[in-house]
Amino acid sequence: MDSNKGKKTEIFKSLQAATIECCNDKARPVLVSSTVIPSGNGVIWAGVFSAQNQQDPENTALALYNISTVQGRVKGFCTVGEKCDSESGSNLQPLSVVFKYSSMSSVAAVRSGSWIVLFIGTSDGQLIKLVLDEKFTPGCPIVLYKSDDERAVLPRMHFDPVDFKYIYIALRNELRRVSVVQCAKYSSLKDCRAALDPLCGWCVDTQRCSTQDECSNTSWVSIPKNSLKTQLLSFLMTENSSRKITLHLALSLESTGNPAFSCSFTRGSVNLCDGSDLTAVFPNCSCTFPDHILYTGVSEVSATVTIKDQKITETLTMRNCSSITENTNASYTQCVECVSSGCQWSSSSQRCDWTHGTGPQLLIQDACKDLRPEIIYRKPEILSLEPNKVSFHGRNNILLRGKNLESVTKIHFQGDLECIPKESPVFDRSSDTLRFHIPPSGTKGTVKVCVVTPDDRCHGNSIITYSSQPSCTGIQPTVSWRSGGRKIDVQGSNMESVESVIVRPSNKELQTQYSRSSGDVWFHSPRYYGSGLLSLLLKVVNSTIDCGYLSYEPDPEFTFTTLQVAN
């Protein structure tokens, strides 16, 4: 809108508009929630869009748009007296789709330097924190809060205007103040960096992980721009013309001020370098030594970096780069040895050599991807998982049906809200069935399941859904006869996660059956000739949930009389 116009009519005529689209994989026509992200250049707007299909693991998408240069007109939007049937300009496409989930319901955002921190509410009662770097690459989602039941986070969330470290969220009939930073849980510089949270850093003087406003007049060590793709500590080796090797060590850290910083490199109990051969300027170190140290083959060096009282120690395995592929054909193992030793792998010549310059080293999975060995086996397929919906406590004894399952070594789980995948061993197998346990999860949502073969490849793409734990609303009927055997229905929500019923005080475990039509479970009452009520507990993996009491009456007695009606 051009507010420099003199008349209101002219101002409204100057309005520019564009249709927003989300997203390329499927149509998501409903806007659920949105927020403007603080930005120095332009205006970045974030929207949560829904396809209105709660069964779809990617029903909702969170997309970012640059809305600072909108040009054009859309149908049905104009001033009085104008024709509204024309359309010009192009539809607005997202800068990036940063997150997909089955049921996002709200979004809010803050900016910290070049980082964007998003807070996402969900319809299953979770508050998720998601960090984006300057290229809008997402980090690992962190669940800050999850409700015990399925209550949606409402679309508006508000940061505390007095203390930015808290956010207010509304869920059904309650209002919660949730901390958006968890710096205090990390007790070392290494753990603080591993959190990959731009709101947290290591306060050098107070020796604790904290926000920057809690660390005044001292150095605050935090994550740099590219830290989502780099390890805390990396190294590479170069060789100069005088046959000396220089080991370059780099820390993926940045700091306000100049923290006390030093490095040491030892081989056994002997310093590898000192004096002018050792340099340390935060966040980099280098160590120069004669090349004959690597003539004997593998050499293990202990590298210790000290930032005031915090020490980070790593064992570096060094090799003579030029001899790794000498006189042998290139293999995947040699490529891994080359890259992990700080050397440079040439994909064109298939040789290992000394690194040229001190730029970033390629990761093993990128440098050696074309050399992975091929193992011959029949490709496994997943046909079904029973059950495929569990509580966040996990589930024992899952049945997987499929084909060619003989070569499967383990089961792999990759969750929407987990960057580190989980794995589970197989404890019972045949060519067409496997049995395994589903591990517990700290989050709710969908998990992709695949089976792993000896070459570490994952096959299949089935879905398991983690939901809230079951809740019991009652049993029907509430009374049984003493000899047992009466069918008792257990009513509540998420009952498919119930594995059995435990009866107290006897601690007897009774098998349950799940009814798909009613969503309830049922069991047969046990024989009981004692006095008092029996307490019922629902068993969900290693936890139990109270579910009321069952009373007993004597077995029924039937009295028959006869009446003669004919001879």
Q: In terms of pLDDT, which residue wins out, 269 or 524?
A: 524
What's residue 127's pLDDT? 95
Predicted confidence at residue 359, as pLDDT, reads 61
Q: Do 48 and 86 contact (CB within 8 A), yes or no?
A: no
Closest by CA to 408, choosing from 455, 372, 369, is 455
Share of the chain above pLDDT 90, in %: 37
Paired with 163 in beta bridges are: none
**Is 362 or 300 the better-scoring residue by pLDDT?**
300
Q: Is the dihedral of CA 196, 199, 200, 202 positive or negative?
A: positive
Give the pairing of strands 433-438 and 395-403: antiparallel
Q: What tens digit of pLDDT does each residue of 225-248 get?
A: 877 878 888 888 888 877 788 888
Query: Are 208 and 276 spatial neighbours (Cβ–Cβ below 8 Å)?
Result: no
Which residues are bridge partners to 545 per DSSP? 538
Q: Where are the alpha helices (DSSP H) in 100-174?
A: none
Q: From the CB of residue 169, how many other CB atoms can be counted at a distance below 10 Å?
A: 22
Instruction: Tell me what pLDDT residue 323 has.
Output: 80
pLDDT higher than threshold 70 for residue 296 = no
Decide: 548 and 472 in contact? Cβ < 8 Å. Answer: yes
- How much is the pLDDT for 325? 77
Average pLDDT over residues 72-89: 78
Measure the CA–CA gap between 476 and 487, rounded to whole angstroms: 9
Structural tokens at position 322: 């030029």
Higher-confidence position of 363 and 67: 67
- Report the share of the chain in percent with pLDDT over 70: 96
Residue 39 has pLDDT above 90, yes or no: no
Structure tokens belonging to residue 193: 């960096």
Residue 140, phi then psi, degrees to nearest 5: -85, 125
Cα–Cα distance, 134 to 113 (Å, whole number): 9
The residue that leads in pLDDT, 367 or 17, is: 17
DSSP for 358-399, written as a single string: S-PPPPHHHHTGGGPPP---PPPEEEEEES-EEETTBEEEEE
Q: Is the pLDDT of residue 455 over 80?
A: no
The pTM assigned to this predicted structure is: 0.75
The pLDDT value recorded for residue 365 is 66
- Most trustworthy range by pLDDT among 85-94, 112-121, 361-370: 112-121
Query: Per this entry, what is the length of the chain?
Result: 567
Residue 524's nearest CA partner among 539, 545, 508, 548 is: 508
pLDDT tens digits, one per residue of 246-277:
888 888 899 998 888 999 998 888 888 878 88
Least trusted range by pLDDT, from 195-209, 407-421, 425-439: 407-421
pLDDT of 393 above 90: no
Residue 368 confidence (pLDDT): 80
Confidence of residue 550 (pLDDT cuts 50, 70, 90): very high
Task: Identify the CA nearest to 301 among candidates 250, 247, 251.
Answer: 247
pLDDT of res. 506:
86
Q: Which residues contact 520 (CB under 8 A, 6 or more apart)?
A: 489, 490, 491, 492, 495, 514
User: Is pLDDT of 361 > 70?
Assistant: no
Q: Distances in Å between the alpha carbon of 32 and those of 103, 107, 156, 233?
A: 10, 9, 10, 41
Q: Which two tokens stand for residue 417?
A: 């809200």
Q: How far apart are CA 432 and CA 124, in angstroms?
A: 34
The pLDDT score that the predictor gives to residue 240 is: 82
Contact 405, 432 (CB under 8 A): yes
Rounded-to-integer distance, Cα 112 and Cα 220, Å: 14
For residue range 482-518, list pLDDT tens digits in order.
999 999 999 998 888 898 999 998 889 999 999 888 8
Q: Which pLDDT score is estimated for 225?
A: 83
Mean pLDDT of all residues in the chain?
87
With a cut of 90, say whether residue 363 has pLDDT above it: no
Q: How many CB atoms lie within 10 A of CB 453?
A: 20
Q: Report residue 293 as tokens.
A: 């140290």
The yes-or-no verdict on residue 362 having pLDDT over 70 is no
| pLDDT tens-digit map of 127-186 | 999 999 989 999 888 889 988 778 899 999 999 999 889 999 999 889 999 999 999 999
- Report H helices in 212-298: none
End-to-end CA distance of the chain: 105
Alpha carbons within 13 angstroms on the beta-carbon side of residue 504 total: 11
pLDDT at 327 over 70: no
pLDDT at 389: 86
CA gap 321, 325 in Å, rounded: 8
What are the tokens at 274? 């000192």
Distance CA 555, CA 486 (A): 11
User: In angstroms, rounded to a whole number, what is the distance separating the alpha carbons of residues 316 and 272?
Assistant: 12
Q: How confident is the model at residue 2 (pLDDT cuts 50, 70, 90)?
A: confident
* Torsion sign over Cα 426, 428, 429, 435: negative
- 396 vs 328, residue with greater confidence: 396
The pLDDT, as a whole number, for residue 52 is 92
Q: Would you state the structure tokens that stand for residue 61, as one six-digit string?
A: 């998408």
The structure tokens listed for 538 are 């629902």
Q: Please state, in angstroms and rounded to a whole number, the distance separating the CA atoms of residues 366 and 360.
A: 13
What pLDDT score was predicted for residue 31? 95
* pLDDT at residue 221 tops 70: yes
pLDDT, residue 344, reads: 85
Question: What is the per-residue pLDDT for 324?
Answer: 80
Taking the C-alpha atoms of residue 333 and residue 340, their distance in angstroms, rounded to an integer, is 11
